[in-house]
Amino acid sequence: MVIAAVYFVIAVGAAVMSGKSLDRNLQGPRLRAAWAEGLTAEARCVSLRTEEVQSPEGGPIVYTHPTLEFRTDDGHTVSFEEHQSRLTPARGDSVTVYYSAANPKDATTRAPSFGMRHARTLITGAGSFFALVSAVVIALVP
């Protein structure tokens, strides 16, 4: 029983750390801040930058990062390079961006989604559930 309890505590701690780590890697805090106020604007793609990296298999992977420019509600022009979107607009195209008034440079073209809003909670909850089930199995096995 003691082993199961120790296992449970360690496994839940690992689930919490995994949830935090995944959330940071997916830029969850930045995205949630951009979506929080519900501010949107139409941005224009002013340039495209391509980046070529090597895949683990050794082949090339090309990423395209658009630089977008938009006007905030208070009239300021903001320019930022999008890194997190699968969207690749052509130069001159318009796209919708989500931003916060406090930090409009952290805008994003990614639309709010349940998964991104709650990724940390979902990963932590799933890990904790599996930790509980595993701990019960450990406690019941003679």
For the chain, what are the domain ranges? 2-140
Quick check: 108 pLDDT over 80?
A: yes
Q: Give the number of C-alpha atoms closer than 13 A to the C-alpha of residue 33, restricted to the C-beta side.
A: 13
As a whole number of angstroms, the distance between CA 84 and CA 65 comes to: 9
What is the per-residue pLDDT across 5-38, written as a single tens digit (0 to 9) for each? 899 999 999 999 998 888 887 778 888 888 988 8
Name the DSSP letter for residue 39: E
Kindly report the backbone phi and psi dihedral angles of residue 81, in degrees, each rounded to the nearest multiple of 5, phi listed first.
-100, 125
Q: Residues 13-26, buried b or exposed e (16+ Cβ, 10 A)?
A: eebeeebeeebeee
Higher pLDDT among residues 142 and 60, named by residue: 60
Residue of 39, 45, 55 whose CA lies nearest to 103: 39
**Residue 34 CB neighbours (<10 A):** 23
Q: Quick: pLDDT tens for 52-98.
A: 888 889 889 888 899 999 999 999 999 999 887 677 888 999 999 99
CB 98 within 8 A of CB 107: yes
